Amino acid sequence: MADSDCFDTGSKILTVAEALTLIAAQFHSVAEPEQLPLAGALGRVLAADVVSGLDLPPFDNAAMDGYAVRADDLGRALPVAGTLFAGGTPVAAPPPGTAMRILTGASVPGGLDVVVMQEEVRVEGTLVHLPAGLSPGTNVRRRGEDVKAGQVALPVGRRLRPQDIGLAAALGLDTLTVCRPLRVALFSTGDEVTAPGQALAPGGIYDANRPLLSALLLHLGCTVTDLGILADDEDVIRAALAGAAPGHDLILTSGGVSAGEADHVKAAVMTLGGLDLWKLALKPGKPLALGHVGRTAFAGLPGNPVAMLVSFLVLVRPLIDLLSGAVPTPIPFLTAPAGFAHAKKAGRREYLRVTIGPDGVAHADPAEGAAMLARLTRADALAELGEEVTAVKPGDPVRVLPLGMLGA
């Protein structure tokens, strides 16, 4: 939801950084909290901090099978006073000069501060021969060394991953307070666009954008309403936007936002609400409309699939995080040496499709067309060339975004 009247879009072209600053200023969370069992919380956004009610581990315990002893008794042969099992009742420490057989996870008695791996000892009769030189704390998991009682174990705004669900369970929780899913209305535009499975008219193309966007939205935990394909008619588009706004948190479209005579989405949005952003210093993906319809957030993406994907990853993904109550996280870039040469304009950010070879080198796709979807399926990553870059030479380090990290 936009917080204020829209910015003057005019003809100004914003950088990606300026656009992200605008998004952070103009939009906020619209998702109310709800309680869910752990089994249903994966991918949802935490609506409140998870504060630990106990220490993890809850007691000192053995990290592996072996013998629990005092560090001062190392380098000697000691009698074994008994065996400690995981889940057993904690016992008092034996007298100095004795060892206890201990299994992984068993409570380490107070006073014993080393667990010697069973592979590092020699047992003769009732005596265990211990090596010297181990430091206090070796192979002992200390109480609270992972999480301390009262500590924030999972912060508000975290989009929950499998490991987060595991930590919540380890803390004894069976439910979590999360934000409800973001409700997104989705449609494509264009008289030339046909739904898959239908007969393709002369001059027509099949709509790849809605299925692609729907998959990206579902990966981010959104609830998607598919409104189909709209004709290039401003009245039709305006009516669809007006109807979708009340029941959704975000309206997402593809196509119809450039300066062409048949691109009516921008005009319809301006009639019903306003635009905060239209032109972006981004290739591919320059035409990108961002604003609101009534009080519902709106994002209009380019019609070419590659440009649409890049625009989604760079700007719509952070927007969805904000609307969903998630703390926006940086895109997980890696660095790889370039296996290509490329020249570009300063002041514009570019993304190139690349494959990563066995040697870790990023090789660029020589075809830069924003509509070449098959080439996108063969790409491993997108190489980001920042606004300040004007040329890349083979061997130069480049930032790459592995597409698999984002479900793309």
What whole-number distance in Å separates Cα of residue 241 and Cα of residue 247?
A: 11
Distances (CA, A) of 58 to 105, 145, 170, 270: 11, 9, 10, 58
Q: Which residue in 94, 99, 90 sits closest to 120, CA to CA?
A: 99
Half-sphere exposure of 301 (CA within 13 A, CB side): 29
In the chain, ranges of CATH 3.90.105.10 domains: 35-55+145-179
CA 58 to chain centre: 30
Helix (H, G, I), strand (E, B) or coil at 89: coil
**In this structure, are residues 50 and 173 in contact, taking their beta carbons and an 8 Å threshold?**
yes
Helix (H, G, I), strand (E, B) or coil at 201: coil
Helix (H, G, I), strand (E, B) or coil at 200: coil
What whole-number distance in Å separates Cα of residue 354 and Cα of residue 182?
A: 32
How does pLDDT run across 316-351, given as a tens digit for each residue? 999 999 999 999 877 778 899 999 999 999 999 999
pLDDT band at 259 (very low <50, low <70, confident <90, very high): low
In the chain, ranges of CATH 2.40.340.10 domains: 334-406
CA 345 to chain centre: 30
Q: Has domain 61-141 been given CATH number 2.170.190.11?
A: yes
Domain at 13-31+181-324, CATH homologous superfamily: MoaB/Mog-like domain (3.40.980.10)
Question: What does the pLDDT read at residue 258?
Answer: 61
**In this structure, are residues 303 and 264 in contact, taking their beta carbons and an 8 Å threshold?**
no
How does pLDDT run across 385-396, given as a tens digit for each residue? 999 999 999 999
What whole-number distance in Å separates Cα of residue 327 and Cα of residue 314?
A: 15
CA dihedral 31, 312, 241, 286 (to 10 degrees): 140
The residue behind tokens 């990563």 is: 356
Which tokens belong to 196? 């898959």
In the chain, ranges of CATH 2.170.190.11 domains: 61-141
pLDDT band at 303 (very low <50, low <70, confident <90, very high): confident
Which tokens belong to 71? 């560090």
Checking if the pLDDT of 77 tops 50, the result is: yes
* Domain 334-406 CATH (choose: 2.30.110.10, 3.40.50.2300, 1.20.1730.10, 2.40.340.10): 2.40.340.10
Mean pLDDT within 104-116: 96
Question: What does the pLDDT read at residue 8?
Answer: 45
What whole-number distance in Å separates Cα of residue 328 and Cα of residue 311?
A: 16
Return the number of other C-beta atoms located less than 10 Å from residue 299's C-beta.
24
Distances (CA, A) of 112 to 105, 284, 401: 15, 63, 49
Q: Report which of residues 260 and 131 the model is more confident about.
A: 131
Checking if the pLDDT of 3 tops 70, the result is: no
In the chain, ranges of CATH 3.40.980.10 domains: 13-31+181-324
Question: What does the pLDDT read at residue 6?
Answer: 41
Is pTM beyond 0.85? Reply is no
- CATH says 35-55+145-179 is which class? alpha beta
Q: What does the DSSP 8-state code read for residue 405? A: G
One-letter amino acid of 76: R
Mean pLDDT within 156-185: 97
Question: What does the pLDDT read at residue 331?
Answer: 75
